[in-house]
Chain A
Amino acid sequence: MSVTVEADTVPRFGIGVKFRFDEVRGAWVVLAPERLFLPDEQAVEILKLVDGQRSLGAIVDDLAVRYQAPQELIATDVAVMLRDLADKGVIRL
């Protein structure tokens, strides 16, 4: 299966999806119709950059600088994760 996501794609949260910090658990949670995800640390950092304005390319740039990691590696990881979240209805691509 292809996981290609174009660099100018602007990911958005799906309709009815909420991403917020839960004080009781001390963790970020994704809440959606009859769905609930506790994203791992890597996913949290990506989801924090999903604001309906930043493109995939801009998200990758931000993470590559912050983690001082190769652009291509980050780009692949982010695309795979966003595609997976899109299949779950969390993200729209």
Chain B
Amino acid sequence: MNGNGVRVSVEPPLGLLLELTHRCPLQCPYCSNPLELQKSGAELDTDTWLRVLDEAAALGVLQVHFSGGEPTARKDLAAMVKRAAQHKMYSNLITSAVLLDQRRVAELAEAGIDHIQISFQDVEPENADRIGGYAGGHLRKLAAARLVQEAGLPLTLNFVVHRQNAERVSQMIAMGLELGAGRIEVAHVQYYGWGLVNRSALLPSREQLDAVTAEVESARLRLKGRMLIDYVVPDYYALRPKACMGGWARRFINISPAGKALPCHAAETLPGLEFPSVREQSLGAIWRDAPAFQRFRGTDWMPEPCQSCDKREIDWGGCRCQAFALTGNISATDPACALSPDHAVMAEAVKQSRGASLGFVYRQ
């Protein structure tokens, strides 16, 4: 049921994001994992993950994202990739790549992995390793990217950009070309969880944001048909919120390492919602009936100014986790929207970040 007690019917989900583990050799200060990380002992076993994949295929999931933490920390990763391939679900590996060697890449290729996305923290090795909190990581990533390319697998490079690397976006794009990536992501930090903790050290200035945007736009034109560039902007200078996850429980299901089914990876930060476990319920039952999935599905739950807004089915009220983190109210309009009564908190955060320390609280 949604906020008004009406059951909102829904199409099959398009994507399933499996956070196989929270373990990771890196400690990026904007990690999307929750502040409270799950221990390896709490992780689902292989058979349960395989059952989740079977249920996802029957439900109509088209793409599976194997993520973490660092998904290659799971020794059974290839078995899961193989199961996804048997169901003809498109498989994406989202990895830091520091554990990827030739044997592992061959094993994944053999299992039928469709695409590998490698994160990079910067183009300058020293700064990249400082941001990731892992000495020698950058060079390992470069080596792994070459292995992926040599194996003939589609490669994406992911760059998270922020105040401490925004000046090097043109070199990031050049690195994508040099490594034969078909696609790169230039994604500004999203300020939830660890990113919110480190917001003052990471928020770019308006000038930095505009320079990155201009660089991406010109590269997109120049590289049309050669390399795709996906670009994600930060909310802090925006006038309208993002359609977070394409709308609450409209397209995606996220499974935490311990098996909690979530409409987005940060949903467990929201109070008062009980998220079902795939240990106890099928994915189909969860998608259709779980109260936590119904809660913000559609538009009936929306407050004003969303309720009467003609963009309500474009941005779906923005991000619930951001709305709660910045206003204390899980049903509030996302403050990223200029129409939100709380919009001033965004400009205030930008002001506070000026001249703030560049030191990080590392994820651990």
The chain A residues found within 8 Å of chain B, CB to CB, are: 14-16, 18, 20, 22, 24-25, 29, 31-34, 36, 86-89, 92-93
Which of these, B60, B117, B228, contacts A89 with CB under 8 Å? B228
**In the complex the two chains form, what is the Cα distance from A20 to B58 in whole Å?**
16
Q: How far is the CB of B332 from chain A (nearest CB, A)?
A: 30
Asked whether A33 lies within 8 Å of B115 as measured between CB atoms, the reply is: yes
Asked whether A20 lies within 8 Å of B88 as measured between CB atoms, the reply is: yes
- Which A residues lie within 8 Å of B230 (CB)? 34
| Contact status of A87 and B114, CB under 8 A, knowing A29-B62, A34-B230, A36-B63 | no
Asked whether B12 lies within 8 Å of A33 as measured between CB atoms, the reply is: no
- Which B residues lie within 8 Å of A20 (CB)? 88
Asked whether A16 lies within 8 Å of B225 as measured between CB atoms, the reply is: no
| Contact status of A89 and B62, CB under 8 A, knowing A31-B90, A34-B92 | no
| Binary interface encoding of chain B residues 32-76 relative to chain A, with 1 for a CB under 8 A from any of its CBs, else 0 | 000000000000000000000000001110110000000000000
B14, CB-defined interface residue at 8 Å: yes
**In the complex the two chains form, what is the Cα distance from A15 to B156 in whole Å?**
12
Q: How far is the CB of B264 from chain A (nearest CB, A)?
A: 16
**In the complex the two chains form, what is the Cα distance from A16 to B113 in whole Å?**
10
Q: Which of B12, B15, B92, B182 has the most CB of A within 10 A?
A: B182
Which of these, A18, A22, A89, A93, contacts B114 with CB under 8 Å? A18
- Which B residues lie within 8 Å of A15 (CB)? 154, 182
Known contacts A25-B12, A89-B182; can you find 14 more A-B pairs with CB under 8 A?
A: A14-B182, A16-B114, A16-B115, A16-B153, A18-B90, A18-B114, A24-B12, A24-B59, A32-B115, A33-B114, A33-B117, A36-B14, A36-B63, A87-B225
Q: How far is the CB of B73 from chain A (nearest CB, A)?
A: 22
What are 26 A-B interface contacts by the 8 Å CB criterion? A16-B114, A16-B182, A20-B88, A22-B60, A24-B58, A25-B12, A25-B60, A31-B62, A31-B90, A31-B114, A32-B115, A33-B92, A33-B114, A33-B115, A33-B154, A33-B183, A34-B117, A34-B156, A34-B230, A36-B14, A36-B62, A36-B90, A87-B224, A87-B225, A89-B182, A92-B225
Which of these, A22, A25, A34, A86, contacts B183 with CB under 8 Å? A34
**In the complex the two chains form, what is the Cα distance from A93 to B63 in whole Å?**
26
Docked complex: B1-29 residues within 8 A CB-CB of A: 12, 14-15
**In the complex the two chains form, what is the Cα distance from A89 to B225 in whole Å?**
6
Asked whether A24 lies within 8 Å of B60 as measured between CB atoms, the reply is: yes
- Which B residues lie within 8 Å of A25 (CB)? 12, 60
Name the residue on A nearest B11 (C-beta): A25
- Which B residues lie within 8 Å of A89 (CB)? 182-183, 225, 228
Q: How far is the CB of B243 from chain A (nearest CB, A)?
A: 15
Which of these, B58, B62, B154, B228, contacts A22 with CB under 8 Å? B62
- Which A residues lie within 8 Å of B63 (CB)? 31, 36
**In the complex the two chains form, what is the Cα distance from A14 to B156 in whole Å?**
14
Name the residue on B nearest A93 (C-beta): B225
- Which B residues lie within 8 Å of A18 (CB)? 90, 114
**In the complex the two chains form, what is the Cα distance from A10 to B142 in whole Å?**
34
**In the complex the two chains form, what is the Cα distance from A18 to B225 in whole Å?**
17
Q: How far is the CB of A10 from chain B (nearest CB, A)?
A: 15
Asked whether A33 lies within 8 Å of B156 as measured between CB atoms, the reply is: yes
- Which A residues lie within 8 Å of B58 (CB)? 24
Asked whether B60 lies within 8 Å of A16 as measured between CB atoms, the reply is: no
Name the residue on A nearest B57 (C-beta): A24
Name the residue on B nearest A88 (C-beta): B228
